[in-house]
Structure 1
């Protein structure tokens, strides 16, 4: 009907759907409600062919595979940005003599001291990282972010999940 030049109101009468529903479906596919643009996208194909590339702001219209690709690419980009920031930051060399920084909640490996202190020896804002207890193995561990389980147990759980995934997928084949 779009290729034949129908308007939304005419399609609504024929299909028995509201104009708003038809507009929404067209927008979900082609990211525009303008029928002339949609006709240009469809060209000689059928409705749903020749879809435009979706930007990240249209993530809700993407397939699950595309969403996963976007998630992976964004996390890779964030990691690269952090690596570049660490390389360009001279914080590690400035504070190299101060071992206390590793135990302070105000330390950031890119920005340095977030409490704006000159050095760790004369710091009056020192705040020790609180001990945390692992729910899985019961050890005490120290991390800036709050976690329920320690680093070793997180790695073990990932390995366990990978083994389970491999076993389940092996049975299906």
Structure 2
């Protein structure tokens, strides 16, 4: 979503909360507003590896995740792709892992993490904090798809730089042709 759309979403959710029409699942509004600090000049993009498989299925729910093949019956003991709530469950997990840093210097979208900083010093601190957090939670990245110490980054169909956020021209070309 574009920053103005995220701002509108947050306002509408706050309004619905205030009216009592909805309630937060975890008591704190966890909406991410993609407003990157003006002047952010240092970026990293981290792609997580086998991230869904880090979440264990409750023992009482394992039997509900069964699959049958010609070679036998199996049950998932970890979160798997394709389950109706897998994406929401995983996204909620990532938002909880990075909650205190969201919108300050990190944006998380499923298994992609964007870190943004204004200065080299800030960048080193931010990157260290996020990498330590990943390590502490035993969440691993796919190093071949990660980018560090860059001044602009393609992220979720946009290019993010110190000049702001714009649509990735490669995405526009793909639609035009």
TM-score if structure 2 supplies the norm length?
A: 0.24
Q: Which has the higher strand share?
A: 2
State the structure with more CA Rg: 1
